[in-house]
């Protein structure tokens, strides 16, 4: 993207109009976060050092049709003076005789900050007359307001018709260079992060990015319009009703293109923008009389996981920035409560396997404690570099296939094919009639035996049912509970699933809780609502230790036996949501150790892509488990993937 830059302008003795983005959050009459101010400092220093007189302009917040003392740039002028180590006087206005006289009096090496451009409605209307008045203040124009450059406002677009030459500042140059490289020849996977208050400001950008990126992270106030489009009630949170259909269309476009679109799963809520504190709740639990003001801890974890996969994280409109306590009461940056640990976006280039990476770091890192294992539970994982590395689990669900004559050679084939494997847990779940035979074949190996269902009571007059102690006696370690086929065909309810989980746990079995939505529920944007309802009801009454012994399998009903599976991004998005919800229902430590499997037309040719997603910890394999060679291939690919991630 070739463009004239400030470095190419003859600056000595010139008055330079610099349009910057100083839309910083204010609190207590001071700048609460000076990130945007620091970003423009290199451009200002360059101009001042080369003998220019700088007339600096910016907007701040959203004044309602005229001057608002609460949105004056006075605190910004004070903080800029500290950063530049020189006085930064503030003009009484951005246009008018007094301002023009003050601008003409600025000497080489000096700077004048104009008052808030948006104190004049003409700014946002891209008024030509207003732009002409701004142009009279200088000899040339420099735009360094990258975050506002998409707006057709007077100080951005119309002014360039009256003030030439017009050039890009250093920040603008840097961002344009990165955008050009990323959009023309991006390194994959490519993740974009969008924030801000309004969807309407970024509709075209969202539509364009969906066609360019592998994942799109949406935060800020605009996220609530997308959440409403998914059917979530969001209380009094900022929503643009006339943009809900637009958001729904973007979600559908992302789904069709296989682009992961990450939205908040929890939020910090309060009574209003002036609240001094807030609390984190799940998106579905936002009270009707409160509003979401910031992302919550589960969302931070989910967004971090998405960003960690990016080989180049610089395509973004907003980075995740966190601060210690304190409220962004007024000003720019979208506003919101800042809490929990301080986050910083570290733009250091790191080299790992020859790729550039921008990293999101926590100032304070903690090693997660190991998760307690339940009786006879498969391995949950190990600590690696301060994080939990969950051991992959691959389960073969034979369903109602396999007579004894068929089961024996199938089990033997799997056993022989996996004589030398490590780094992955394997369980086979044959029909009840074949449990004993398969158990004998895999006895003494690392392959576990599992059942496809169980009753919740240890014994009783329950014709045709199998009790947990009976399964244990046969050597079962694992039992599938709540499989979507049983929910659909047998009418199993979440309450019944909950009773079965309790019964299985009481006898040392590891329950594999199956959850998932129908095609219609996904079409209506109810995937998260459905999965959350199933999880909450199925885990009702379980303590933290009990939840820690579970495995969860996400198996979208529309993908089972259809040959159509969710994209890796779609699956990972739900898996991240499941983990976040478990963090709320149990604890963060339990959620970090929880293995969440994907089920639904898993085959040897798609398992690599699925397990490459950090949130997917293994597979519940249906039809492909009925072929020994195919199932062994899936297990070996899972083992190789685990070894690669652990390097």
Q: Which residues are catalytic?
A: 483, 555
Query: Could you count the other beta carbons within 10 Å of the beta carbon of residue 510?
Result: 24
d(CA 40, CA 113): 13
Is residue 334 left, alpha or beta, with left meaning phi > 0 and alpha meaning psi from -120 to 50?
Answer: left
Q: Return d(Cα 316, Cα 516) in angstroms, integer.
A: 32
- Radius of gyration for the alpha carbons in the chain, expressed in angstroms and rounded: 29
How many angstroms separate the CA atoms of 433 and 440, rounded? 13
Structure tokens at 126: 């891209």
Give all strands (DSSP E) within 464-606, no chain letters. 476-481, 510-515, 551-554, 595-599
User: What is the spatial distance between Cα 269 and Cα 302, in angstroms, rounded to a whole number?
Assistant: 19
Do 629 and 407 contact (CB within 8 A), yes or no? no
Residue 78's CB: how many other CB atoms inside 10 A?
14
Strand partners, 598: 554, 619
Structure tokens at 7: 């470095």
Three-state secondary structure readout of 240-282: CHHHHHHHHHHHHHHHHHCCEEECCCEEEEECCCCCCCCEEEE
Q: How many CA atoms lie within 13 A of 411 on its CB side?
A: 30
Question: At a CB cut-off of 8 Å and minimum separation 6, what does 39 contact?
Answer: 21, 171
Measured distance CA(239)–CA(594) in Å, rounded: 34
φ, ψ (nearest 5 deg) of residue 360 = -100, 120
Nearest alpha carbon to residue 362 among 310, 281, 307, 282: 307
| Residue for token pair 């997917």 | 616
**Whole-number Å distance between alpha carbons of 140 and 278:** 46
Inter-residue contact 564 to 519 (CB < 8 Å) = no
- Residue 88 burial (CB < 10 Å; 0-12/13-18/19+)? buried
CA distance 474 to 438: 10
- What is d(CA 175, CA 178) in angstroms, rounded to the nearest whole number? 5
| CB-count exposure of residue 405 (10 Å: 0-12, 13-18, 19+) | exposed
């Amino acid at each position: 993207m070739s463009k004239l830059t400030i470095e190419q302008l003859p600056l000595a003795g010139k008055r330079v109009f610099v349009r910057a983005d100083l839309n910083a959050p204010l609190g207590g009459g001071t700048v609460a976060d000076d990130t945007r101010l620091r970003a423009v400092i290199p451009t200002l220093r360059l101009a001042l050092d080369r003998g220019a007189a700088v007339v600096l302009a910016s907007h701040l917040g959203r004044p309602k049709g005229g001057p608002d003392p609460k949105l004056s740039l006075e605190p910004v002028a004070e903080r800029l003076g500290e950063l530049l180590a020189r006085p930064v006087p503030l003009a009484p206005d951005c246009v008018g005789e007094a301002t023009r006289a003050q601008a003409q009096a600025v000497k080489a090496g000096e700077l004048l900050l104009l008052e808030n451009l948006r104190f004049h409605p003409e700014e946002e209307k891209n008024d030509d007359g207003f732009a002409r008045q701004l142009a009279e203040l200088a000899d040339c124009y420099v735009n360094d307001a990258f975050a506002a450059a998409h707006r057709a406002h007077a100080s951005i677009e119309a002014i360039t018709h009256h003030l030439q030459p017009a050039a890009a500042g250093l920040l603008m140059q840097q961002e344009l260079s990165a955008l050009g490289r990323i959009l023309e020849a991006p390194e994959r996977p490519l993740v974009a992060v969008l924030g801000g208050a309004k969807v309407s400001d970024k509709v075209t950008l969202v539509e364009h990015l969906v066609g360019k990126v592998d994942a799109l992270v949406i935060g800020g106030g605009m996220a609530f319009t997308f959440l409403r489009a998914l059917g979530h009630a969001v209380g009094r949170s900022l929503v643009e009703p006339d943009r809900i259909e637009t958001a729904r269309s973007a979600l559908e476009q992302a789904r069709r293109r296989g682009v992961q679109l990450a939205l908040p799963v929890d939020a910090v809520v309060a009574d209003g923008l002036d609240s001094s504190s807030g609390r984190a709740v799940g998106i579905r639990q936002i009270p009707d009389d409160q509003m979401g003001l910031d992302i919550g801890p589960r969302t931070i974890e989910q967004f971090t996981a998405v960003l960690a996969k990016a080989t180049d994280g610089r395509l973004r409109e907003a980075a995740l920035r966190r601060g210690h306590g304190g409220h962004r009461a007024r000003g720019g940056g979208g506003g919101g409560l800042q809490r929990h640990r301080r986050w910083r976006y570290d733009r250091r280039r790191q080299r790992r396997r020859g790729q550039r990476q921008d990293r999101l770091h926590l100032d304070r890192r903690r090693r997660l404690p190991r998760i307690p294992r339940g009786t006879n539970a498969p391995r949950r994982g190990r600590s690696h570099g301060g994080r939990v590395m969950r051991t992959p689990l691959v389960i073969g669900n034979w369903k109602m296939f396999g007579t004894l004559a068929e089961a024996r050679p199938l089990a033997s084939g799997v056993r022989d094919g996996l004589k030398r494997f490590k780094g992955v847990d394997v369980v086979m779940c044959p029909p009840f009639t074949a449990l004993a035979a398969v158990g004998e074949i895999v006895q003494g190996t690392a392959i576990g035996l599992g059942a496809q269902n169980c009753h919740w009571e240890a014994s009783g007059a329950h014709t045709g049912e199998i009790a947990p102690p009976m399964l244990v006696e046969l050597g079962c370690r694992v039992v599938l509970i709540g499989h979507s086929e049983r929910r659909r065909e047998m009418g199993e309810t979440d309450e019944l699933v909950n009773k079965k989980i309790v019964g299985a746990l009481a006898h040392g079995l590891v329950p594999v809780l199956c959850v998932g939505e129908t095609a219609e529920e996904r079409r209506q944007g109810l995937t998260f609502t459905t999965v959350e309802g199933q999880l909450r009801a199925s885990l009702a009454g379980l303590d933290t230790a009990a939840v820690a012994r579970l495995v969860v399998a996400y198996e979208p009903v529309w993908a089972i036996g259809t040959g159509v599976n969710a994209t890796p991004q779609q699956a990972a998005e739900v898996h991240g949501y499941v983990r976040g919800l478990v963090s709320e229902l149990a604890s963060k430590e339990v959620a970090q150790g929880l293995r969440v499997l994907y089920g639904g037309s898993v085959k040897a040719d798609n398992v690599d892509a699925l397990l490459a997603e950090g949130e997917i910890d293994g597979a519940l394999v249906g039809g492909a488990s009925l072929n020994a060679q195919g199932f062994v291939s899936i297990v070996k690919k899972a083992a190789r993937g685990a070894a690669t991630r652990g390097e």
